[in-house]
Structure 1
Amino acid sequence: MGDEVQQLTRAFSGLGGLGVDEATMVSALARWRKQPEKRSAFRKGFPGFFASQGEELERCEEEHMLRLAAEFARFKNLMVLWAMHPWERDARLAHQVLHQHHPAAALVEVACTRSADELLGARRAYHALFHRSLEEDVAYRARDKPYCNLLVGLVSAYRYEGPRVNEEVAKAEAKALGAAAGKEKLAAVQSEEVVRILSTRSKPHLVETFKHYKEMHGRRIEEDLGSQSQSKEETLLVEAVLCLAAPAKYFSQVIEAALRDGADHHGKEALTRVAVTRSDHGMDEIRAAYQEQFGAKLEDAVAAKAHGHYRDALLSLVGAAK
């Protein structure tokens, strides 16, 4: 009986992590139907989940019940996101940021990592679903934030997607960004020049601009815009820079943060979001960036941390196409 109890305890071990092992739980239901003594041994052997209430009762902690429900929901949420039209999915992700106080990262990702037509499609879907424009909602919901103009500019963009870059302009704008980055961090995110460059220039142009920035200053622009203890404004600015010019690096960092012990609820949500939204766009590059930055295969990291059907679904999305 000890081995079976240990297996079920491990199945619940995704609690507070990344999914639970539903298959093992279902198996236990079938095998333990008329064996209450096994369920009792399981409860007594899992003090992190059940609190003793005298000799005859082991109480399930309320906090753990809520967290367990969230772990079961991860697989469901992944499947719902995966099944949606990409435009609707992006519109709903943006709406969550603006109306449910989710971190702004999801909105930055939609604005900065989608193609011009994909972002336009998300704006059209937002209009159809919520009877307001995305730009209108961002301008209103972020009206008191220092980064309001930057966010409005990013979600309103329709960027040139060709390869042509004007080197002289890229150098001049690298110099302008350097002047802004050298000021107070809050001033950088509010700078009209920073907003103009990040919200209007093509991604190849920005890659070249940031290359010139490093040549001029000896550091990557995200190093100068951020700090060890980033404010929300700094974080958003760095996220925008990385999403525009180095999306694989950005997404690999989001995944790594989600897989850390102690990652919060929003971090784990981000793992689902990135796996679904990037499975058809640049996942090979994300896997390579993860290996380069963290010295491990992305699939191995996910398999070690996630559980059950949620793990299997994640691996099908982040793994190499077969």
Structure 2
Amino acid sequence: MADEVQHLTRAFSGLGGLGVDEPAMVSALARWRGQPEKRSGFRKGFPGFFSSHGEMERCEEEYMLRLAAEFARLKNLVVLWAMHPWERDARLAHHVLHQHHPAAIVVEVACTRSADELLGARRAYQALYHHSLEEDVAYRARDKPYCNLLVGLVSAYRYEGPRVNEEAARAEAEALGAAVKSAAGGKLLAENGDVVRILSTRSKPHLVETLRRYKEIHGRRLEEDLSGRGREETTTLLLEAVLCLTAPAKYFSQVMEVALREGADEHEKDALTRVAVTRSEHDMDEIRAAYEEQFGAKLEDAIAARAHGHYRDALLSLVMGAHHHHQ
């Protein structure tokens, strides 16, 4: 009995983690039938969540909301997984624009999808919300220094062939370097015409080549020059756009790592579902490799250690795909 209570307590306090241990709860439902005193003992052992009121232990409001959110993780994952990718992206973007989530997700959708996937998401957005994605982005970000860049990113239909103009890439690497230097003098990088044009119109292979030239010319990676400028919103957004466009697997592995940290907030934890679902059929093997290279551990081990119950199993199935066999 004591260890049954312990097991259930552990299932409930998967709260700081991700998801809940459903099997433990389901087996308690069967075994504790007709034994209300067991549940009462269980509540008393949980003073942080159930406070005593005379003869009754009352469930704290905040705790109920948190538990509901942990149970909802699996449901949200399955609903996202079942959706058409265009609708999914449209809903993810709309959610950000209308619930004041970080603009990061809009950048992610705009910069890591193919030209046709992004076009599909924009068409789905219009069908669902009777506005264009770009007009909503322009309106929501109207007083932000990165407004033009963000509108440019979501409006892009990039060339996807392999052909790169070496001369233009070299010239644009120089232009980016000049923009980085002048931004130190107070001119904001995200408002620089060259920066906006290059990041919002050039093909991904062209940008990869431009960044290679940038390092050759300036001795440092553009990424390093950007991350040296502090963590304010505009810099973070620029850095994210550069990563999403030129090294998506690295970007996604970093998002997963943040989500799996002990102190991750709700937005950060939600990213685990989003990335597992949206990337499972695209570049998940590359993301796993990038995770291991950057963090010296396997992504699937980190998920198994931090997540719980059916939610954990669903994440592992998406992340491991064909490699995943239930133990």
Structure 2 length as normaliser, TM-score?
0.94
Q: Distance in 1 between matches of 2:208 and 2:178?
A: 18
Q: Distance in 1 between matches of 2:52 and 2:241?
A: 49
Give, in angstroms, the shift of residue 14 of structure 1.
Answer: 2.0
1:172 aligns with 2:171: yes
**What are the Cα deviations for residues 128-179 of structure 1, in whole angstroms up to 9, with x where unaligned?**
1111111111111111111110010000101111111122211111111111
Contact map agreement 1:154 1:199 (CA 8 A) in 2: yes
Instruction: State the 4+ residue runs in structure 1 displaced beyond 4 angstroms.
Output: none
The equivalent of 1:19 in structure 2 is: 19
The equivalent of 2:162 in structure 1 is: 163
**What are the Cα deviations for residues 247-280 of structure 1, in whole angstroms up to 9, with x where unaligned?**
0000000001001112111011111111100001
1:9 aligns with 2:23: no
Q: Which amino acid aligns with 2:47?
A: P
Contact map agreement 1:214 1:220 (CA 8 A) in 2: yes
1:80 aligns with 2:79: yes
The residue correspondences of 1:137-148 to structure 2 (distance < 5 A) are 137-148=136-147
SS of structure 2 residue aligned to 1:291:
helix
The equivalent of 1:111 in structure 2 is: 110
- Structure 1, unpaired ranges of 5+: none
The equivalent of 1:217 in structure 2 is: 218
**What are the Cα deviations for residues 44-93 of structure 1, in whole angstroms up to 9, with x where unaligned?**
22334333446x44332221111111111111111110000000000111
The equivalent of 1:300 in structure 2 is: 301
Give, in angstroms, the shift of residue 123 of structure 1.
Answer: 0.7
Q: Distance in 1 between matches of 2:23 and 2:229?
A: 42
**What are the Cα deviations for residues 22-52 of structure 1, in whole angstroms up to 9, with x where unaligned?**
1211111111121122212222223343334
Give, in angstroms, the shift of residue 200 of structure 1.
Answer: 0.5
Q: Distance in 1 between matches of 2:19 and 2:230?
A: 30
Q: Which amino acid aligns with 1:119?
A: L
Give, in angstroms, the shift of residue 243 of structure 1.
Answer: 0.3
Contact map agreement 1:23 1:308 (CA 8 A) in 2: yes
Q: Which amino acid aligns with 2:102?
A: P
- Structure 2, unpaired ranges of 5+: none
Q: Distance in 2 between matches of 1:99 and 1:186?
A: 30
Q: Which amino acid aligns with 2:77?
A: L
Q: Distance in 1 between matches of 2:52 and 2:239?
A: 48
Contact map agreement 2:146 2:191 (CA 8 A) in 1: yes
Give, in angstroms, the shift of residue 320 of structure 1.
Answer: 4.0
The equivalent of 2:41 in structure 1 is: 41
Q: Distance in 2 between matches of 1:51 and 1:269?
A: 29
SS of structure 2 residue aligned to 1:170:
helix
Q: Which amino acid aligns with 1:17?
A: G
1:232 aligns with 2:240: no
Moved more, 274-283 or 133-142: 133-142
Q: Distance in 1 between matches of 2:59 and 2:124?
A: 43
Q: Distance in 2 between matches of 1:217 and 1:52?
A: 65
The residue correspondences of 1:173-322 to structure 2 (distance < 5 A) are 173-182=172-181, 183-184=183-184, 187-227=188-228, 229-322=230-323
The equivalent of 1:121 in structure 2 is: 120
Aligned residues: 321
Change (3 A) 1:9 1:186: farther
Q: Distance in 2 between matches of 1:270 and 1:12?
A: 22
Q: Distance in 2 between matches of 1:166 and 1:23?
A: 57
Q: Which amino acid aligns with 2:27?
A: S
Structure 1 length as normaliser, TM-score?
0.96
Contact map agreement 2:43 2:57 (CA 8 A) in 1: yes
